[in-house]
Chain A
Amino acid sequence: MRILKLALALAATFLLLWQLSIPHKAGDKNLPPLGSFFNPFTGFWQNADPAEGFRGKGLDAVLPGLKGKVEVVYDDLLVPHVFATNLEDAVRVQGYVTASQRLWQMDITTRKAAGRLSEVLGPRTLNTDRLARRRGMVFAAENNLLGWQKLPESMRLLEAYTDGINAYIDQLSPADYPIEFKLLDYAPEHWSVLKSSLVIESMAETLASTETDLAATNTLTQYGQPAFDSLYPEWNPKQTPIIPDTGQWKNLHVTLPQVSPPADLLSGVETPDDNLFSDNELNGPDPYLRGSNNWAVSGERTKSGHPILANDPHLMLSLPSIWFQVQIHTPDQSCYGVSLPGVPGIIIGFNDDIAWGVTNVSHDVSDWYKIKWADAGHNTYDLDSEVRPVTTRIEEIGIKGRPSLFDTVRYTVFGPVVYDYDPKSPLRDCALRWISHDMPPPDGMMIFMLLNSGHNYADYKTAIGGFDCPAQNFVFASRSGDIAIQAQGRYPVRGHEQGRFVQDGSHWQNAWQDYIPQDQVPSMKNPSQDFVFSANQPSAAQTYPYYYLGGFDNYRGRRIHERLSALHDATIDSMKTMQLDNFNRRSADALPVMLKLLDRSRLDAEGRQLADEIAGWNYRYDADLLAPTLFETWWDSCYAKTWDEMYALFKTDRAVLFPEAWHTIELLEKDTSNRFFDHPGTPVHETARDIVLESFLSMEAYYHQNPDKKTSWGKAKGFAIKHLAQIDAFSRLDLIVGGHQNSPNAIKKNHGPSWRMIVELGDQVHALGVYPGGQSGNPGSRFYDNLVDTWAKGEYYDLLVMHSAEESPERILGKQTFSPK
């Protein structure tokens, strides 16, 4: 009896312990093992940081490898100010302090880039991982290292940064792990220089992988060349290129390469329909999601007589935020700005002498080549008269709870054959030529370090010359009064329309043969207009002799250009109003045209009232206005009814290239009987007037049926900043903000200004900044999202630039000292 009791008690105990040790599901949610998660000594309660004061635990540290003592002062926004006696020590400590705030973000970002999510998340992320591997993300990251290794200085700094991160990881106990590790039930692993490279590749994937080759090829096949040319004109005459023509290219004579016609995607396919199918990368009407603004105005246009620089890179907004603020102070530099967790140095920032910022260059650096296989097993392919073997790379993808998947990826001279595992993919025989796969110049790693310590225009010019990918418009201003901008990157010299469509990969002449020489990359210094700016629009005027490939409705750029041209006696406040400008140039172009076409006699009383509301509007997408909600619905409907032929294709999952908004407005204005206004299959021939009326009525009907949707723009837009693992509880879903992707304040649903910075140079630098997040990556910290509301209100922080570890005690939270062993 006693033994039976004992057996039962032990069984009950082990059953409980076992149940508390394994993950469970609540509805569709995965719950972590409850025992370790709830244990207040090591579980999530340990992540509940004090609501006041500063978490002092384990602050002072011995850091092997340091050459001298390093002090870190945390200000009231938890920005670390690193005071070191040399750069190597500074980046070592930068690694440590960044990891102490953002370790899980660094882990998950690099796992995603490396195709290693499934190792910790199981089979549900297998496709994501497989695609990351097959696109050659790890291949690219390894090639980065091969390039950087040629400059020992780069590697020394990168290794110091890595060691700093690992020193932090090594002193952690499970209780200290970020809460996401506890929720997802895995442990942090060591950092490596490859991971830093992967962070950069992850940015390249975000910023420099946009291409519409398949969509353009499909659309060309569907409509033929003449229609294609008229639907997708490559140059918007109203646009304001970044570098205008000032005669600088007069003597530049370039012969563009000759290339074959686009590849025939339909050959060798039984039913053409199968071939127009695109499974996982369907681009809607706006494939160019990424955008950013930057500008600099010279002292001629400012009240103080000193240059002012502004930058707001627009990215997917997330918590933890993509940026981490830091100041790095050594005897040679005192630089403040935002860094990318996982990369040493400061990416966007300023010091006492210079300021710089970046926006993305939209030039296409990612092409597809159709391979002509020479054997049935796809191990060899034809290139001109030669038969070449593929090289293979075997990717082992670890999967939690399952055996690894071994995936063989074929590489050709152009790059990896990404989709050959999917017989339905129209790109299954195509190789990806992507600039990110190339080995960077040896100083590629050093460019931000050199900018951080730069003093003048010459330093800026030298620093950015080594930057290849993702190409950026580097805007610059200096205390000595210079302003400049350069569309810096490595760009293939393209033949006319080369890379616009899927190319024929059986001829070497179609490959990228050459790159635009560094001294011919578009750039401008101290122009007579006294300002420089960029908003992702084409880099140079049409007279620039190289072929530019990449669309971008230039509405933000045009608006910024208008405002900068009218700017006098500018102050930091004028720059704020420009960054927060909700004016939408696209709507200002479209609405008068649409109102003119709208036949008001066909509207009922409510319709006329709505039309009045819209007609009286100032084109601002402010959060509390109704008109933008109405107009946006009207415009979207008008666009969709105009291009209904393309939507029909799109709805059958075919990649389609959608015409740009500016071209749509141009047709509404000048070509009202264009055949695309006619709905196929109706007896009457519709014109632009019919489309405008129809779309207005459908807007009205929609709000008649859904009166709750007729609400202010801020509510209608539905803005959210999501946690990186899409955990709602760790997200901010309660924010109501204005803005539109075409207004300078380009806030979209979950995308927008990820860092707003304004810097006025002068005897003393004055800088403001804010980002929608917080310095801590811990949802249990008051610094997790403490900057979000300030950002949402359109307010800024005065950035604290320190010159010694002892100053500004009123804004200091605490200090941390690192000493050598």
Chain B
Amino acid sequence: MKNAFFTLLFIFLFGNLCQIGLPWWTLAPIGAIAAFLFPLRTGAGLLAGFCGGFLLWFVAAVLLDRSNQGALSGKVGQLFLGMHGWQLLMLTGVLGGLVAALGVLSGKFTRDVFVGSKPKH
């Protein structure tokens, strides 16, 4: 449980540091590094990775959207199948979550191959 929390926190904090200057897909390697540092079972890793990535992208988007009072998300939503602002925020979170989760999964299986240790509880 602790490692799941650390995974989430690592993705959220390290992601915030890295995402400003680096391309968006670096979120996947960040997830992989988290999996190396904080070993988890597959399901727990996926969930923690998803939550970390989701929070990372969702919170950043919510902050910008709130200060903008939803003006831009309303317009961009129209471009994406007529979504509402909140749906666009959720989609943002889900995309971040998926990228991080798959990063964690790849990291975990890489670790399993090369390090071979079982996750501790």
Identify the A interface with B (CB < 8 A): 2-3, 5-6, 9-10, 12-13, 16-17, 20-21, 26, 29, 31, 34-36, 38-51, 173, 175, 179, 183, 727-730, 779-780, 782
Contacts and interface: CB of A to CB of B under 8 A. Distances in A.
B113 A40 contact: no
A422 to B, nearest CB: 35
Nearest to A4: B109
A43 B24 contact: yes
Contacts of B61: 38, 40, 45
A780 B72 contact: yes
A20 B112 CA distance: 27
Of A29, A44, A727, A782, most buried by chain B (CB within 10 Å of CB) is A44
Contacts of A729: 75-79
Nearest to B68: A48
What 7 A-B pairs come out closest when comparing CB atoms?
A780-B72, A48-B68, A39-B24, A729-B78, A40-B60, A6-B109, A41-B19
B73 interface: yes
Nearest to B75: A729
B95 A38 contact: yes
8 contacts: A13-B103, A17-B28, A36-B23, A40-B57, A51-B69, A729-B78, A729-B79, A780-B68
Contacts of B79: 29, 31, 183, 727, 729
B99 A48 contact: no
A41 B113 contact: no
Interface in B17-61: 19-21, 23-25, 28, 57, 60-61
B37 to A, nearest CB: 17
Contact of A35 (B67, B69, B95, B113): B95
Given A2-B113, A38-B57, A41-B24, A9 B68 contact: no
A779 B75 CA distance: 8
Contacts of A10: 106, 109
A755 B21 CA distance: 41
A51 B23 CA distance: 27
A48 B64 contact: yes
A38 B91 contact: yes
B91 A780 contact: no
Contact of A51 (B71, B103, B105, B113): B71
Interface residues of B, number: 40
Nearest to A47: B72
Most chain B CB within 10 A, of A9, A34, A36, A728, is at A9
Interface of B: 19-21, 23-25, 28, 57, 60-61, 64-65, 67-69, 71-73, 75-81, 91-92, 95-96, 98-99, 102-103, 105-106, 108-110, 112-113
Given A2-B109, A13-B28, A45-B60, A31 B73 contact: no
B25 A35 contact: yes
A36 B24 contact: yes
Contacts of B92: 38, 40, 45
B78 A17 contact: no
B80 to A, nearest CB: 7
A109 B69 CA distance: 30
A5 B67 contact: no
A5 to B, nearest CB: 5
Contacts of A45: 60-61, 64-65, 72, 92
Given A6-B106, A40-B60, A41-B20, A17 B99 contact: yes
A43 B106 CA distance: 25
A9 B106 contact: yes
A34 B95 CA distance: 8
A39 B69 contact: no
Nearest to B19: A41
Contacts of B78: 728-729
A268 B94 CA distance: 66
A742 B56 CA distance: 57
Nearest to A730: B75
B63 to A, nearest CB: 8
A126 B16 CA distance: 42
A782 B69 CA distance: 10
B24 A35 contact: yes
A804 B21 CA distance: 39
B114 to A, nearest CB: 9
A17 B103 CA distance: 10
Nearest to B73: A48
Contacts of B112: 2, 5-6
Given A6-B110, A9-B106, A46-B64, A779 B91 contact: no
B106 A17 contact: no
B72 A779 contact: yes
A6 B103 contact: no
Contacts of A42: 19-20, 23-24
B68 A51 contact: yes
Contact of A40 (B64, B67, B75): B64
A576 B100 CA distance: 59
Contacts of A16: 98-99, 102
Q: Which of B21, B24, B71, B106 is packed against the most chain A CB atoms within 10 Å? A: B24
B2 to A, nearest CB: 23
A28 to B, nearest CB: 12
Contacts of B102: 9, 12-13, 16
Nearest to B31: A13
